[in-house]
Copies of this chain bind each other. A is one copy, B any other.
Amino acid sequence: MIMPNMATMLAFIVTDAAVEQSWLKKVFSEANDASFNIISVDGDTSTNDTSLILANGMAGNPTIREGTGDAETFRSQLQAVLLSLAQQIVRDGEGATKFVEISIKGAQSVADAKKAAMAVANSSLVKTAFFGQDANWGRILAAVGYSGAEVDADRIELFFDDVQMVRNGVFTGGNAEERGSEVLKRKEFAVTVDLKLGQGEATVYTSDLSYEYVKINADYRT
């Protein structure tokens, strides 16, 4: 079934480097988890997302494996390639006008941080607020609240880029509203929520929910 409007994703990575198979599998899996698996345009997982890597050894280099001199370089470059591809998918998302990094810090666990980040990234209310360039921190905190992650409402902090909107669970006031709104006008910005409970961190990249998203997905056959 070919249906590009479902965000079906096929990634093929090829390299001439000689790389030990088991180690390549491990670092490729890690790089996928840190790239394709942390993006969401609309929360709809496609039926046939695929990511493949081929290392054919044509370069004639000494085989890269765990602990060899080139291992860290190869790993970090592989992660950079996959992250770039994943971010391009979000930037090219159906009707996307914004590219947003959602970072959760201070969660009790990494699992909690991921749950919270995905809940924010997939919230239609949050995504329409991004489209409307509305610094609506309340919708973001609501999504974190229903995500299932452990939250202490009296500790939570929220930032739009470097503008702090919420401290100890309370709106920071002053000119934060105006400064936050300026951030939301940018094409790319970061939302950071610090739960102040532990060391768990996670980042998800997402887009907004626009008229164009509805148009593309409602009328694609007409």
Contact = CB atoms under 8 A, between A and B. Distances in A.
Interface of A: 1, 3, 6, 42-47, 122-125, 128-129, 131-132, 134, 138-139, 142-143, 145-146, 209-211, 213-215, 217-222
Nearest to A219: B132
A43 B6 contact: no
Given A6-B139, A138-B1, A214-B209, A43 B131 contact: no
Contacts of A45: 142, 146
B217 A214 contact: no
Contact of A217 (B129, B213, B218, B219): B129
B46 A142 contact: yes
B3 A217 contact: no
A101 to B, nearest CB: 20
Contact of A44 (B124, B134, B219, B222): B124
A6 B124 CA distance: 11
A47 B169 CA distance: 14
A206 to B, nearest CB: 12
Given A44-B143, A124-B217, 14 more contacts: A6-B125, A6-B138, A42-B124, A43-B123, A44-B123, A44-B124, A44-B125, A45-B146, A47-B145, A129-B218, A131-B218, A132-B222, A209-B218, A213-B214
B6 A128 contact: no
A128 B217 contact: yes
A220 B75 CA distance: 46
A142 B215 contact: no
A222 to B, nearest CB: 7
Contacts of A131: 214, 218
Contacts of A128: 213-214, 217-218
A48 to B, nearest CB: 10
Contacts of A221: 132, 134
Given A42-B124, A125-B42, A132-B222, A211 B215 contact: yes
What 6 A-B pairs are tightest by C-beta distance, nearest first?
A: A132-B218, A128-B217, A45-B146, A42-B124, A128-B218, A44-B125
A151 to B, nearest CB: 12
